[in-house]
Chain A
Amino acid sequence: MARHVVAPVSEIAPGKSRIVDVAGRSIGVFNVGGEFYALINRCPHEGAPLCIGFVLGRFTSDRPGEYRLERHGEMLRCPWHGWEFDIKTGQSWCHPESVKARTYNVEVVPGETLAKGPFVAETVPVSVEQNYVVVEL
């Protein structure tokens, strides 16, 4: 298990994401309302590049004619078959008990701390003035 600096916080705005290669794996890093989350860029259904899919909310309804949009910006829809996943947990909407997209721990770390190491900085240059998104895998 190693920690990888993947981007300055300022480069992934709320509601945005970035797909990064970390240790040979394609990972999607998402900013949901200022909090960062990371998911594997591979749908557990048929292997599609999950993280290029639309980010949306969850429509719910108690009865026909009544609709609510909840958790706006927290769901990820696969670009192929439309399976939806909770960005925060990787949980699948259609098979919540059995299907999960792999998630990774993410934290925001000040550049000053990073400069001390022992992080694997990959290709992202680190300056002490900024905060960075760090993914663990």
Chain B
Amino acid sequence: MNVTVVDRKPDTSSQTKLGIVDCDVHPYTKSAADLDPFLPERWRKHRQSIGGRSRSPFSNAPNYPRMSPFTGMRMDSYPKDGTHPGSDLAMMQEQLLDLFNVQYGLMMPLLGRGSDERNVEFGAAMATAANEWEAQVWCDQEPRLKAGIQIPLEYTEAAIKEIESRAGDRRFTHVMIPPRGLEPLGRRRYWPILEACAANGFSIALHLGGTSGHPSTGGGWPSFYHEEHPSYPQSKEALVTSLVIEGVFEHIPNLRVALVEGGFAWLPSLSWRLDKHYKRLHEEVPHLKRLPSEYIRSNIWVTTQPIEEPERPEDLLATCEWIGWDRIMFSTDYPHWDQDDPRYAFKAPLTEQQKRMVFRENALSFYGLE
């Protein structure tokens, strides 16, 4: 059992003095109409009269119940005006950016529905609108926040156009790609988009969420949220395996991928398994020139939340060692109910050097920040 949590003093040492980088921050709109100013009239009317058609089985509800109001928000993150958590900049500054001395917060907006909208032209318009909203409503007001580029994953031309149009705009640091597409991400149909990310200098953030209509687990739809939550690492495992085995990193060696909101303790065992089978099955995948674990080591980064809490807390340190301390980036997931607090997330002590890397330097380097 975990026994180290009792009466622990908050760890306010080096990582907060230097300023941390939070690799998973969720801004929300106060209402869907907030995106209207950024939509062309044709699509504004579409949004108002017809609305979104997602690939998820329920058009306006999450796929599973959650234990807290709305769709799983920290209960103390509701703005006083009753609007959505994460929609009030002053509150986000108070509860996150100022409190933890966040130097940069990487935004992962879960709205716009550009990725799973069945009307792909509407999806493209919504992605563009959400990106403009991020830049103008958030980045321009709060330069510590960095924007993620939303794209319509199933509309290649529009996705590439959106990526190219943001190149060179320092407000944008990453392209958000939904982890559950129509097909595994390593498939050829997605290569032009992945190429565009690398060619335009953007890292990719694969943030959990959204749905392609496929069940969230490999074995079908779960009954419980308790079942749903562990499907996050499952979807990440499928992503990593697809990207590696399809040869994406052989084809685009400078593609940099962050896995966001899937934890990380599963990654070493996946690497071991892939390497074991590579020794036996390499004839099937001769396009792979290196061990699968080597592609993972060179092209994949992980973010910490929801951090694993092993029975012996120090086991997490060994896990980090196996992944590589230079590949692990801290994230809160503010304002979600399962967010991690930088003062308490690690239940075992990190060295000063490890703290600097995890809470700050790895992310600065990954996202090209200073």
Q: Which of A52, A98, A100 contacts B75 (CB 8 A)?
A: A52
Let me know if A98 and B2 touch, CB within 8 A. Answer: yes
Q: Which residues of B lie under 8 Å from residue A66 when comparing CB positions? A: none
| Residues of A contacting B: mostly | loop
* Residue A80 lies at the interface, judged by CB distance under 8 Å to chain B: yes
B345's nearest neighbour on chain A, judged by CB, is: A46
Chain B residue numbers with a CB within 8 Å of A97 are 1
Shortest distance from the beta carbon of A13 to any chain B beta carbon, whole Å: 21
**What total count of A-B pairs have CB within 8 Å?**
54
CA distance A44 to B343 in the complex (A): 12
* Binary interface encoding of chain B residues 32-66 relative to chain A, with 1 for a CB under 8 A from any of its CBs, else 0: 00000000000000000000000000000000000
B345 proximity list for chain A (CB < 8 A): 46
In angstroms, Cα B339 to Cα A97, docked, is: 25
Contacts of A22-74 to chain B: CB distance below 8 A: 44-49, 52-54
For residue A81, which residues in chain B have a CB less than 8 angstroms away from its CB?
A: 337-338
Say whether B5 contacts A99, CB under 8 Å. Answer: yes
Q: Which of B318-356 contact A (CB under 8 A)?
A: 337-341, 343-345
Verify B3–A98 contact, CB threshold 8 A: yes
Partner of A44, one of B5, B67, B74, B75: B5
A53 & B75 in contact (Cβ 8 Å cutoff): yes
- CB-nearest residue of chain A to B75: A79
* Smallest CB gap from B339: residue in A: A80
> Chain B interface secondary structure, helix, strand, loop or mixed?
loop
Interface size bracket, A side? 10 to 19
Nearest A residue to B74 by beta-carbon distance? A80
Q: Which residue of B lies closest to A53 (CB)?
A: B75
A102–B5 CA distance with the chains assembled, in angstroms? 13
Report the bound CA distance from A100 to B3 in whole Å. Answer: 10
Whole-angstrom CA separation of A69 from B76 in the bound complex = 26
Chain B contributes a number of interface residues (CB within 8 A of A) equal to 21
Assuming A46-B345, A53-B75, A98-B1, is B337 touching A82 (CB within 8 A)? yes
Contact B6 A46 (CB under 8 A): no
Least distance between B22 CB and chain A CB atoms (Å): 15
Contact A47:B2 (CB < 8 A) given known A52-B75, A79-B76, A80-B74: no
* In the complex, A16 has a CB within 8 A of chain B: no
Q: Which 6 A-B pairs have the closest CB atoms?
A: A79-B75, A46-B344, A98-B3, A46-B341, A79-B76, A80-B74
Can you name 23 A-B pairs with beta carbons within 8 Å? A44-B6, A45-B344, A46-B341, A46-B343, A46-B345, A47-B344, A48-B76, A49-B76, A52-B76, A79-B68, A79-B337, A80-B74, A80-B337, A80-B338, A81-B337, A82-B68, A95-B2, A95-B5, A98-B2, A98-B3, A99-B2, A99-B3, A100-B6
